[in-house]
């Protein structure tokens, strides 16, 4: 059960967009004000499963204690301390990479075939990501400082979820995520502690700031993540010159890949050129005739 909650939170981490009109805290509260959080531990699990299966991950933020929500928002506040030039350069490279993927959708068919993912699905996802970056203002560092993870999960998370749900393996997995099949049942509740039966396993819950969460989901995990981000940003700012140089090399690499793919060449994989004939095999030289024996 802990994995379920962590996956939900991580999804919120990566699915994010800027919000210019309000602060992150205000935007989050406004988006979550209609979410009803159950007051029983088993009901929390049932509702969380339903929301996750529907792709409404952003609503899961409301299920977390306020202090947990603040830690998540603070993580993005730490990210926003990145040097503006570094951020803007990196965002520009991201857009170029997305554009390259969309442009070379025929080449993506080869990659998608190996991964079992239709090229159309990859391109559709890339278009959604590009829309999120451009319309959400993520290309601009000033907009990123007003970053709202909840707003993106609401506006774009569902779109990405719906695309992924078209994959047969994802469909099969979602079919297994069923409230009835999981047999969710409250086993015991005593004060701020409860035990919920989920798919045959007993999971302990605790009530923190009026919200039921898995006992082993500690706020310290989010705090550690925030500290790690803080150190990473400080290190990046300290090594700005070296990183900018590496980014320039990355831009050159993208341009090189674009040129290679435009010429029918694949940047990686078994085939190095789609129309290039196999190299000729050189024949071994004929052995020298044996010398006649001396008389």
For residue 100, is pLDDT > 50? yes
Identify each DSSP E strand in 173-260 by its residue range.
Answer: 185-190, 193-198, 201-208, 211-214
Name the percent of the chain in helix, strand, coil, to the closest 5. 60, 10, 30
Say how far apart CA 41 and CA 61 lie, in whole Å.
Answer: 16
Per residue in 162-207, pLDDT tens?
A: 888 888 888 788 777 778 889 999 999 999 999 999 999 999 999 9
Query: Which of 11, 69, 7 is CA-nearest to residue 37?
Result: 69
Higher confidence at residue 152 or residue 64? 64
Q: Is the pLDDT of residue 209 over 90?
A: yes
- Residues 121-156 have pLDDT tens digits of 888 888 888 888 887 657 789 888 887 888 888 888
| Sheet with 211-214: strands ordered across | 185-190, 193-198, 201-208, 211-214
Residue that wins the pLDDT comparison between 143 and 290: 143
**pLDDT value at position 45?**
96
Residue 166 is predicted with a pLDDT of: 83
So what's the pLDDT on residue 201? 93
Q: What is the mean pLDDT of residues 204-219?
A: 96
| pLDDT for residue 218 is more than 80 | yes
* C-alpha to C-alpha distance for 277 and 294, rounded to whole angstroms: 50
Question: What does the pLDDT look like over 221-274, one tens digit per residue?
Answer: 999 999 999 999 999 999 999 999 999 999 999 888 888 876 665 554 444 444
131/234 Cα distance (integer angstroms): 29
- pLDDT for residue 288: 53
Q: What is the pLDDT of residue 163?
A: 87
- Among left, alpha and beta (phi > 0; psi -120 to 50; other), residue 82 is beta
Which residue has better confidence, 177 or 32?
32
Residue 215 scores a pLDDT above 50: yes
């Amino acid at each position: 059960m802990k994995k379920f909650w962590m996956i939900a939170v991580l999804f919120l981490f990566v699915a994010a967009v800027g919000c210019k009109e309000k602060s992150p805290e205000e935007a989050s509260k406004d988006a979550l004000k209609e979410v009803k959080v159950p007051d029983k531990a088993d009901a929390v699990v049932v509702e969380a499963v339903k929301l996750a299966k529907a792709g409404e991950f952003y609503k899961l933020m409301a299920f977390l204690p306020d202090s947990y929500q603040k830690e998540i928002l603070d993580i993005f506040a730490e990210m926003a301390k990145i040097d503006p030039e570094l951020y803007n350069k990196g965002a520009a490279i991201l857009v170029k990479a997305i554009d390259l993927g969309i442009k070379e959708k025929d080449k993506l068919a080869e990659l998608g075939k190996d991964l079992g993912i239709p090229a159309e699905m990859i391109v559709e996802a890339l278009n959604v990501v590009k829309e999120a970056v451009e319309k959400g203002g993520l290309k601009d560092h000033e907009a990123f400082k007003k970053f709202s993870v909840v707003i993106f999960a609401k506006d774009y998370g569902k779109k990405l979820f719906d695309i992924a749900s078209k994959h047969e393996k994802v469909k099969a997995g979602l079919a297994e995520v069923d409230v009835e099949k999981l047999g969710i049942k409250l086993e015991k509740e005593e004060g701020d502690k409860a035990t919920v039966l989920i798919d045959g396993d007993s999971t302990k819950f605790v009530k923190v700031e009026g919200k039921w969460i898995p006992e082993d989901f500690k706020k310290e995990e989010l705090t550690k993540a925030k500290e790690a981000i803080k150190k990473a940003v400080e290190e990046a700012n300290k090594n700005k010159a070296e990183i900018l140089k590496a980014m320039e090399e990355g831009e050159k690499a993208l341009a090189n890949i674009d040129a290679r793919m435009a010429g029918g060449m694949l940047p990686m994989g078994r085939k190095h050129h789609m129309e290039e004939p196999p190299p000729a095999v050189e024949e071994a030289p004929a052995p020298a005739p044996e010398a006649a024996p001396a008389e």
